[in-house]
Amino acid sequence: MALLTLDEAKAQLNLTTVTHDVELQAYVDSITAMVEWYVGPVEPRTVTETVSGRGLTLALAQIPVVSLTSLTPLLLGGLVLDVADLVVDNENGIIRRVTGDPFCGGPWAAVYTAGRSSVPPPTLNLAGRMLVQHLWRTQQGPGRPGLGGNDDYDVNQPVPGFGYAVPNRVLQLLQPYRLPPGVA
């Protein structure tokens, strides 16, 4: 599963030849990291991280979470927890024990899948299309027919906090999927 395919990018740019495919593929490949910086993992990936803490919950760093594979103690003699005895708040990456008991005896090695479990939401796909379109415009140069104007695609007008790379309309599409404060 990819955020955007080469064919989708070509359709967004109204390109019908293979002349620019290699160059355009580099743009397609680069936008996933830019979108994921703002919304978290889009494409599913396996993550292994050390999770520390005591209390009723543990927090995973990369959200959303598709599934938890294992939670293994890193200290000799630590309590091994069966994932069937754990509940994961997938949207927020919070792990709780089914029994409500607190976690103790950590730190743990958490292995899980982060990202989205199926095809990316259409809004994220559209944001990816529009981001490729914006980046493609930056290499076309000034004075190109049909590409001018002082809108948020104008490569000379930075978006506050994001420089020139991400236009306002893309940020607005990403907003419903934005990571909560403090999550990176």
Query: What gap in Å lies between CA 8 and CA 25, rounded to an integer?
Result: 11
Which strands sit side by side in the sheet containing 45-51, from one edge to the other?
45-51, 108-114, 65-73
Q: With helix as H, strand as E and coil as C, how does 12-56 read?
A: HHCCCCCCCHHHHHHHHHHHHHHHHHHHCCCCCEEEEEEECCCEC
Whole-number pLDDT of residue 121: 87
Whole-number pLDDT of residue 24: 95
- What are the Cα distances from residue 79, in Å, to 57, 74, 105? 15, 10, 6
For the chain, the domains span: 6-41+118-177, 45-114
Residues 6+ apart with CB under 8 A from 179: 38, 39, 40, 63
Q: Is the pLDDT of residue 146 over 60?
A: no
Torsion angles phi and psi, residue 178, rounded to 5: -60, 140
Q: What is the mean pLDDT of residues 128-140?
A: 87
* 79-112 pLDDT per residue, tens: 778 999 999 999 999 999 999 999 987 899 999 9
Closest CA to 184 of 49, 36, 58: 36
∠ CA 94-127-7, rounded to 5°: 115
Whole-number pLDDT of residue 75: 85
Q: Would you state the structure tokens that stand for residue 47, as one six-digit string?
A: 């993550």
Q: What is the mean pLDDT of residues 147-155?
A: 48
Out of 101-115, 131-145, 170-184, pick the least confident. 131-145
Query: What gap in Å lies between CA 65 and CA 87, rounded to an integer?
Result: 12
Both ends of the chain: CA-CA distance in Å?
22
**pTM of structure:** 0.73
- The amino acid at 4: L
